[in-house]
Amino acid sequence: MLKLNHLNAYYGTSHIIHDLDLEIREGEIFCLLGRNGVGKTTLLRSLIGITVNTTGRIEFEGRDISTLPTHARARLGLGYVPQGREIVPGLTVLENILLGCNARKDGRKSVPQLVWDTFPMLKDHLHRRGTNLSGGQQQQLAIARALATDPSVLLLDEPTEGIQPNVVEDIEKSITTLNRVHGLTIILIEQKIRFARSAAHRFAILEKGRVRVSGASNELTNDLIHRHMGL
């Protein structure tokens, strides 16, 4: 569904992603792992086309999207949930979700039922400012906004980071349900190894902007974690 060939990514003169090849299959959860600063977030931002200079080729459903602007990639079906959530200050929960509708291919401006099915608690806070929600509620709002774009691939950057423990489980269940029940392809950056093993079909561990090791989730051994992610 997504194929990267010889992808390089730069911030100014800083070379972050190095000649990376990767394939994401339709209907899977693919987990990106690695220590902080190895290029995981830069890789997602390269896929969606945000403030990163890239060379190489990014194919989405057989089409080269390497030179397309961010809004065009979103309209093709890439939904993005950034690290830190980036809820728009001053807008209500409903207004934040409706922002995602601007990227829909069909032009519809109504919130998809999938949003309410996935995060029913948001209905109780529609007219509250999004920034007044708790961290866990804001994360659910950020995912809901991405779902409102009607994506076929969802890019999630550490969706359980900094979330209160009682909400983490709800978010994890929502992610696996979106994949297992609704068939959404998901690329997930995650530091929680337990969740990575249980949710992902395949994984890749990055080091210095390169894929150091990859495989099926049942191959994500403690030895690999110690060697490539330990302090």
The C-alpha atoms of residue 211 and residue 194 are separated, in whole angstroms, by 21
Is the pTM here over 0.85, yes or no? yes
**pLDDT value of position 84:** 86
Structure tokens at 31: 């987990």
**pLDDT value of position 162:** 85
Cα 14 to Cα 38, 52, 115, 143, 208: the distances in Å are 12, 11, 38, 30, 12
Structure tokens at 116: 């309410």
List domains and CATH numbers for the chain. Answer: 2-229 (3.40.50.300)
**Average pLDDT, integer, range 183-195:** 94
**pLDDT value of position 117:** 95
Helix (H, G, I), strand (E, B) or coil at 143: helix
Residue 230 has pLDDT above 80, yes or no: no
pLDDT digits (tens, 9 = 90+) for 15-50: 999 999 999 999 999 999 999 999 999 999 999 999
Neighbour count for residue 211 (Cβ, 10 Å) = 18
Q: Kindly report the average pLDDT of the chain as a whole number.
A: 94
pLDDT digits (tens, 9 = 90+) for 158-168: 999 888 888 89
**pLDDT value of position 152:** 95
The beta-carbon contacts of 225-229 under 8 Å, at least 24 apart in sequence, are 225/193, 228/33, 228/34, 228/35, 229/33, 229/34, 229/35, 229/205
Contact 19, 206 (CB under 8 A): no
Structure tokens at 51: 């403030």
**pLDDT value of position 52:** 82
End-to-end CA distance of the chain: 34
**Average pLDDT, integer, range 44-57:** 93
Q: How confident is the model at residue 231 (pLDDT cuts 50, 70, 90)?
A: low
Contact 180, 162 (CB under 8 A): no
Residue with tokens 């397309």: 68
Q: What is the DSSP string of 121-138?
A: GGGGGTTSBGGGS-HHHH
Q: How confident is the model at residue 105 (pLDDT cuts 50, 70, 90)?
A: confident
**pLDDT value of position 109:** 86
Contact 58, 46 (CB under 8 A): yes
**Average pLDDT, integer, range 138-154:** 96
Segment among 50-54, 146-150, 211-215 with least mean pLDDT: 50-54
